[in-house]
Amino acid sequence: MNKKTLSEDDISAKFITPAVIQAGWDEATQIRRQVYFTKGRIIVRGKLVTRGKAKRADYVLYYQHFPIALIEAKDNNHAVGDGMQQALEYAHTLDIPFVFSSNGDGFVFHDRTGQSAQLETTLPPEAFPSPEALWAKYRAHKGLAPAEEQVILQAYYDDGSGKEPRYYQRNAINATVEAIAKGQNRILLVMATGTGKTYTAFQIIWRLWKAGQKNRILYLADRNVLIDQTMVNDFRPFGAAMAKLSTSSKTIERADGTSTELTTAIDGQRRIDTAYEIYLGLYQAITGPEERQKLFREFSPGFFDLIVIDECHRGSAAADSAWREILDYFSGATQIGLTATPKETEYASNIDYFGTPVYTYSLKQGIRDGFLAPYKVIKVHLDVDVEGYRPENGAVDEQGNEIEDRIYNQKDFDRVLVIDERTRRVAKWVSDYLKQSGDRMQKTIIFCVDTEHAARMRQALINENADLAQKNSRYVMRITGDDADGQAQLGNFIDPESPFPVIVTTSRLLSTGVDAQTCRLIVLDRAVGSMTEFKQIVGRGTRVHEDTKKYYFTLVDFRKATNHFADPDFDGDPVQIYEPGEADPVTPPDDLPPSIDAEDPIPAEPGEDETVIVRPDITLPLVAEEPHGKYYIKGQPVRVLTERIEYLDENGKLVTESLRDYSRRAIRSHYASLDQFLARWKSAERKEAVIEELAEEGLLLDPLLEEVGKDLDPFDLICHIAFDQPPLTRRERANNVKKRDVFTKYGPQARTVLEALLAKYQDEGIVSGLDNVHILEIPPFNEMGTPLQLIKQFGTKANFENAVHELQAALYQETA
């Protein structure tokens, strides 16, 4: 058998797998092949949505449930270690300690733990290490005692459906379990909204509980919906061992559509049943400003072994918080904080309390991996926002109050001064957007200044959408903390199966913790000063929902809230405080240099690839808040000045550009010059291969053809868009071939076939596949004879294929 002729799959099956099995690895339980660990980035251009390639490891080897080794396979035309660099990249992502590369002749072994005499060693096939040998190395590297090893090897919960933690969830779970096994009692996990923090928490608790490491657990949150949905969905396997710290039970629907009644641990006299092992509770339900409300004191301080705090940025981090007293009371318990947005301010710090995160998975990484939805940003500038509003001398509002003479700006609107036409204009813009999108039933959240603003916005939206609001009164609803009717519809809004409500106005209630999987449109009509809150609002749309084909969402900004994108910490790392020394200015200097990032260095001056997203020429002056009530003004005309559409590019930065500009940049990143592209095109026997390469980068040509509006083939389209070459239409290229009369060496019937192929190119733009004999089975060729008869005119099938390749070369002869 000649190894050089074997494919990578054959090398794996015939040489790599047998060597691994011979070393003692069980094929059924310890060896997994073709392990996909990302989804492939979702790429959005206009209405075109594509996915990039998912990352895949050739082999992952497991010691019990623990992924301990990774093998990158290559065919035998590669050297034995040629796959190592790619394998190390994957191993870093998957947090796998031992890495191998192989071409079937042997293995190159890289020990990321540093336990081996050499960092990399070449091994013959028979020297592949056993599971026990690698686990012993790992155990020594981590310094695991037998009791710690038992906890770390405790299995995940498996419901038999095949669901298992994603790679980053597994990393987070393993990092947390290992830290706790080694005695760490304050843990912080940072995971972007939509990445499954609750499921991750469940698996952490399950493993610690099953291992006997933690026997009584408290899960804390600050929203009833977070507790209830957690109990019936992710935490459901805890069954009878679990109860809610509440006095009243209620029936709730599970994710699978069945219903169940929540078990409660508090009776009507507010006595707690201490027989349960897993307790879930609302901060608000177990504490309060008065001593009688501090229900948590009914437990002894040492009752709980483990406390998990969901969304720990919202109140538990502040030292003087009423919620913090719960954590202080149970200070002897291990405490895990979960957050998408760690808070670091002068007054509250997650890191100060919980310590540095043991694992972080950011919004940026989630989008790159394809687990989170990317988004478009539309910035809408209203004239009254940009230019401000100044009342005429002696002007009064609707109530007859004289309006103070000053310039009112965007920060004042709907807080100090209400312009009804501005509210109507925002409602009209949103309604027009929904109408023009072709889908007026897409779930939409509009964030308003306060509950009153949300009520006025609801009314304006109803008037703009009277046809649908008449058909169903829940088409537009206000959901705020003081609106019981609205709150009652929250479950329906987040339910993918429930069409109503469609448009929801709110102030802050929906900004955090609401799993709105099908939300496609988020509108910001209030300033968002807090980076933490801004990240949470963006997180309302980042969930992918494939059943409804929701792969991206749109963020519409009327209030400059998206200026937060300019913050280098936007992608989810903790926001640190600028703490000036005695001689330093109290505010950060304007000329403070950008942070040094070795992976993506920031140039001192803006480059051509950067796009301005904040325009200093329309920055409004800051005006101090006045201590009076609101002014209400009718009849002030408001119009839209500008609209801008922005995209997140492959580096997670916002760019403002057309599909044409994006395509030009994408092509030139693949082919730096026209000569490079021409050389590739000329050398490719299958022109389709070039198009496929660009498609893998997310560049599809059909939408670009629509925008350019010319009858071009892919070659001319690429040359024209990326390299400014004057294009020829398909008809012009076909006519040039006819003028050169390149078919004279063939007989009459063969020339007829080639001329028909040329006509097919001219009419349909087919470049590749012309040499596929199956094309002879369709009109007009099937009317000329059978494929066998037509090929016979060229002598052989190879001669037919050569003739077609000559035709393709002739089409591009002048340029290529």
Question: Which range is most confident: 41-55, 370-384, 463-477, 716-730?
Answer: 463-477
pLDDT score of 572: 31
Distances in whole angstroms, Cα of residue 352 to Cα of each of 337, 343, 572, 576: 12, 10, 17, 11
Which secondary-structure segment (H or E) carries 202?
Answer: helix 197-210
In whole angstroms, give the CA distance from residue 641 to residue 671: 39
Q: Apex CA 118: angle with CA 115 and CA 119, to 5°?
A: 75
Distances in whole angstroms, Cα of residue 726 to Cα of each of 709, 710, 715: 14, 12, 12
**In contact, 94 and 167? CB cutoff 8 Å:** yes
Predicted confidence (pLDDT) at residue 512 exceeds the cutoff of 60: no
DSSP for 414-451, written as a single string: TTTEEEHHHHHHHHHHHHHHHHHHT-TTSEEEEE-SSH
**In contact, 229 and 515? CB cutoff 8 Å:** yes
DSSP for 714-735, written as a single string: HHHHHHHHHH-PPP--HHHHHH
For residue 32, which of 141, 136, 139, 162 has the smallest C-alpha distance? 162
Predicted confidence (pLDDT) at residue 603 exceeds the cutoff of 60: no
Q: Which residue has the higher pLDDT, 95 or 756?
A: 95
**In contact, 522 and 537? CB cutoff 8 Å:** yes
Predicted confidence (pLDDT) at residue 346 exceeds the cutoff of 80: no
In whole angstroms, give the CA distance from residue 677 to residue 663: 14
Question: Computed from CA positions of residues 327, 332, 338, 342, in that sequence, does the dihedral angle turn out positive or negative?
Answer: positive
**In whole angstroms, what separates CA 401 from the centre of its chain?**
49
Question: Computed from CA positions of residues 315, 316, 319, 323, in that sequence, does the dihedral angle turn out positive or negative?
Answer: positive
Predicted confidence (pLDDT) at residue 596 exceeds the cutoff of 50: no
Residue 17, token pair as written in the block: 């797998």
In whole angstroms, give the CA distance from residue 811 to residue 396: 75
**In contact, 189 and 358? CB cutoff 8 Å:** yes
Tokens 């209630």 belong to residue: 509
pLDDT confidence bin for 213, thresholds 50/70/90: very high
In whole angstroms, give the CA distance from residue 780 to residue 528: 63
pLDDT score of 105: 95
Predicted confidence (pLDDT) at residue 34 exceeds the cutoff of 90: yes
pLDDT score of 577: 22
Q: Which residue type is seen at 257?
A: G
Q: Which residue has the higher pLDDT, 555 or 659?
A: 555
Q: Which residue has the higher pLDDT, 214 or 438?
A: 214
Predicted confidence (pLDDT) at residue 701 exceeds the cutoff of 90: no
Residue 793: how many other CB atoms lie within 10 Å: 20
pLDDT score of 632: 54
pLDDT score of 417: 83
Question: What tens digit of pLDDT does each residue of 97-131 get?
Answer: 999 999 999 999 999 998 888 999 999 999 999 99
**In contact, 478 and 504? CB cutoff 8 Å:** yes
pLDDT confidence bin for 96, thresholds 50/70/90: very high
**In whole angstroms, what separates CA 623 from the centre of its chain?**
37
**In contact, 194 and 514? CB cutoff 8 Å:** no
Q: Which residue type is seen at 203?
A: Q
For residue 690, which of 680, 678, 702, 679 has the smallest C-alpha distance? 680
In whole angstroms, give the CA distance from residue 363 to residue 373: 9
Question: What tens digit of pLDDT does each residue of 780-802 get?
Answer: 777 788 878 888 888 888 888 88
Maximum Cα–Cα distance for the chain, whole Å? Answer: 102
Predicted confidence (pLDDT) at residue 72 exceeds the cutoff of 90: yes
Contacts of 558 (CB under 8 A, 6+ apart): 380, 382, 385, 426, 523, 524, 525
Q: Which residue has the higher pLDDT, 392 or 655?
A: 392
Contacts of 736 (CB under 8 A, 6+ apart): 728, 811, 813, 814
**In whole angstroms, what separates CA 583 from the centre of its chain?**
42
pLDDT confidence bin for 607, thresholds 50/70/90: very low
Helical pair 687-696 and 714-723, crossing angle rounded to 10 deg: 50
Rg (CA), the chain: 32
Q: Which residue has the higher pLDDT, 345 or 329?
A: 329
**In whole angstroms, what separates CA 427 from the centre of its chain?**
28
Predicted confidence (pLDDT) at residue 770 exceeds the cutoff of 90: no
pLDDT score of 395: 86
pLDDT score of 136: 94
Residue 215: how many other CB atoms lie within 10 Å: 12
pLDDT confidence bin for 599, thresholds 50/70/90: very low
Q: Apex CA 15: angle with CA 12 and CA 17, to 5°?
A: 60
Residue 225: how many other CB atoms lie within 10 Å: 16
- Average of per-residue pLDDT across 260-286: 87
In whole angstroms, give the CA distance from residue 322 to residue 336: 18
Q: Percentage of residues in the chain with pLDDT exceeding 70?
A: 80
pLDDT score of 493: 85
pLDDT score of 584: 34
- Average of per-residue pLDDT across 741-750: 80
pLDDT score of 186: 92
Predicted confidence (pLDDT) at residue 633 exceeds the cutoff of 70: no
pLDDT confidence bin for 702, thresholds 50/70/90: low
**In whole angstroms, what separates CA 216 from the centre of its chain?**
34
Predicted confidence (pLDDT) at residue 745 exceeds the cutoff of 70: yes
Round the average pLDDT of the chain to a whole number and report it: 79
Residue 602, token pair as written in the block: 């920031």
Predicted confidence (pLDDT) at residue 663 exceeds the cutoff of 90: no
Question: What tens digit of pLDDT does each residue of 486-502 get?
Answer: 888 887 887 878 889 99
Question: What tens digit of pLDDT does each residue of 232-247 get?
Answer: 889 999 999 999 988 7
In whole angstroms, give the CA distance from residue 221 to residue 168: 23
Cα within 13 Å of Cα(339), Cβ side: 27
Question: Computed from CA positions of residues 469, 473, 474, 479, in that sequence, does the dihedral angle turn out positive or negative?
Answer: positive
Q: Which residue type is seen at 750?
A: A
Question: What tens digit of pLDDT does each residue of 153-192 get?
Answer: 999 998 888 888 999 999 999 999 999 999 999 999 999 8
Contacts of 468 (CB under 8 A, 6+ apart): 440, 475, 502
Contacts of 536 (CB under 8 A, 6+ apart): 193, 340, 341, 511, 512
Q: Which residue has the higher pLDDT, 765 or 620?
A: 765
Predicted confidence (pLDDT) at residue 520 exceeds the cutoff of 50: yes
Predicted confidence (pLDDT) at residue 472 exceeds the cutoff of 70: yes
In whole angstroms, give the CA distance from residue 630 to residue 324: 36
